[in-house]
Amino acid sequence: MQNPRILLITGGSRGIGAATVRRAAAAGYTVLFSYVRAGAAAETLCQEIAAAGGSAYAVQADMTVEAEILRLFETIDTRYGPLCALVNNAGIAERQIRVDEMDAARLTRVFATNVIGPFLCAREAVKRMSTRHGGNGGAIVNVSSAAARLGSPGEYVDYAASKGALDTFTTGLAKEVATEGIRVNAVRPGLIYTEIHASYGDPGRVDRVRVSVPMQRGGTAEEVAEAIIWLLGEQASYCVGNFIDVSGGR
């Protein structure tokens, strides 16, 4: 019997994360995903996937706490088997303000989740997947943002800067582990219809600014998930350090 393909998706209980969990399970992965507070949503998602014949399991873990990240990876090791792929999806933005209104506490929260968390998760994944460490190789996809290119002036310059850091991390790690059987790439979603906009105080943002998108519409979480799953798979076997912009041309 073939060993299951174990995939970890951080922040998988809603939005792009949940869409990727669904798409990955349909593609035959055994999916582990983390969540922080949305336990009910995570359980509902697991039940939905089980009913469809897939395998998905939720683990509560805060991606800003190193000890919880270690516990998450140890849980995968002991309960599920060798990890073959990681999607660094967990991320946050806060309410729209200018840089001259930001304080250090806000910056710490944003960069801890959007930069330090992916670094630590990638570190643990590399330890398990790299041929240098006795692993069988694998793939990592970082979920960045078109904001890394656009800067988000007057809204979320801190968020955009954190995603710019994630892009640089993607490039550097991709080159660092390319000879160790690990492919590292990223997707950069644009204006996507997800709950995150409401969570930072602007539920109608996509419809408000979609005129800036050449396609004149917002995207869906499912469209982003398709790009993520493609980068994880063998169809993208020669893609290393690449970025797919899922942004409607913006």
- From the list 159, 193, 200, 238, the catalytic residue is 159
Q: Can 156 be counted among the known catalytic residues?
A: no
CA atoms of 16 and 24, how far apart (whole Å): 12
Cβ–Cβ < 8 Å for 20, 34: no
Selection from 189, 183, 168, 187 nearest residue 236 by Cα = 183
Phi–psi pair at 182, nearest 5 degrees: -115, 125
Nearest C-alpha neighbor of 205 from the set 189, 192, 224, 188: 192
- CA–CA dist 5, 149 (Å, integer): 33
Phi, psi of 184 (to 5 degrees): -120, 125
Cα separations (Å) of 65 from 41, 47, 109?
22, 27, 11
Question: What CA–CA distance (Å, rounded) separates 166 from 185?
Answer: 11
| Residue 113 per-residue DSSP state | I
Task: Please state, as a whole number, how many other Cβ atoms lie within 10 Å of the Cβ of residue 123.
Answer: 13
Q: Which residues are catalytic?
A: 159
